[in-house]
Structure 1
Amino acid sequence: MRTDNRLSRMLHVLIHMSKLEGAATSETIAKMLSTNPVVVRRTMAGLREAGYVTSSKGHNGGWELAVPLEKVTMADIYRALGSPEMFALGLANDDPKCLIEKAVNVRIGDALAAAEAMIVERFGAMTLAELRADFEQGLAAVPPGDRCD
């Protein structure tokens, strides 16, 4: 089963962008993520529409943060990415008339909705500035040759 790692990847990108002076091109971000610049542009477009990044074309163009990291939460980015599916579990819909299937789906659906709400609430309590501080604290403990920064 395929996992959706867009949230993790975009948080990574945004922390890197916060350290840059100037714009990050889609090509630069794509190399960092081992992906295609088109994928970067498509994913970053949701962040731009939500107002968290801006983009400019031409020489010295690219992506820049539009909001200070202190004002952006992990939940904000999660929502800007379209609130991707949180869990791989799904509901069976083989026989819509089956009362057992309906009962199972209600209980599983309720549990998944409650778990997702709790996770999004936790995401809402974490700013990107806190993530960057975690990174910087970890960075201080790693020898320069072993860093990814």
Structure 2
Amino acid sequence: MSANSRLTIAAHALAWIGLYQRQGHEVATSEQIAASASTNPVVIRRLLGDLRRAGLVESRRGVGAGWSLARDLESMTLLDVYEAVEPGPLFALHRAAPDPGCVVGHGIQPAMQGIYDVIEETLRRELARVTLEDVLQDVLAVPR
């Protein structure tokens, strides 16, 4: 299984837009953001669509089209971004119900769900502690 990078790429896009706006630009294009993230602009547009629905970015069409932050980086947390781009639970249970006649099949889902609930609550608490401003400052502190 491969790891999901949607949260990372969404945080990358938001930090990039925030820095770009601080440099005096009003809007950023998906092509510019995609070049920084080394991904396809379509991937960026899909993520930005999710972020727009969550109220984190705004889009402008026509002349001067592009994306801008809807809120300051200081007021956005990684939890806000996570909730915008990762709509489902962190972990899933079986797609088909396990054999209830088997002792493991009978008890695995309740046992795992309890563990998953604790992990997800810990993840959400930690993501809520980190703002996108924190992320941008950490990015800018990395030596080149």
TM over 0.5: yes
Is this contact kept in 2: 1:78–1:84, CA < 8 A? Answer: no
TM-score (norm 1): 0.82
Which residue pairs with 2:7 in the alignment?
Answer: 7
* Structure 1 residues 32 and 85: CA distance shift in structure 2, 3 A: farther
Shift of 1:102: 2.6
Question: What are the residue-to-residue correspondences of 1:1-149 with 2, within 5 Å?
Answer: 1-20=1-20, 21-87=25-91, 90-91=93-94, 93=96, 95-100=98-103, 101-138=105-142, 142=143, 147=144
Question: What is the rounded CA distance, in whole Å, between the counterparts of 1:25 and 1:58 in structure 2?
Answer: 12
Quote the sequence identity (%).
30
More displaced 10-residue stretch of structure 1: 74-83 or 95-104: 95-104
Structure 2: gaps (5+ residues): none
Paired positions, count:
139
Is this contact kept in 1: 2:52–2:59, CA < 8 A? Answer: yes
Question: What is the rounded CA distance, in whole Å, between the counterparts of 1:3 and 1:85 in structure 2?
Answer: 14
Question: What is the rounded CA distance, in whole Å, between the counterparts of 1:32 and 1:136 in structure 2?
Answer: 14
Shift of 1:18: 0.7
Aligned Cα root-mean-square deviation (Å): 2.0
TM-score (norm 2): 0.85
Question: What is the rounded CA distance, in whole Å, between the counterparts of 1:31 and 1:90 in structure 2?
Answer: 37
Is this contact kept in 1: 2:7–2:86, CA < 8 A? Answer: no
Quick one: which amino acid aligns to residue 73 of structure 1? Answer: T
Quick one: which amino acid aligns to residue 71 of structure 2? Answer: V
Is this contact kept in 2: 1:26–1:37, CA < 8 A? Answer: yes
Is this contact kept in 1: 2:6–2:86, CA < 8 A? Answer: no
* Structure 1 residues 37 and 92: CA distance shift in structure 2, 3 A: closer
Question: What is the rounded CA distance, in whole Å, between the counterparts of 2:99 and 2:35 in structure 1?
Answer: 46
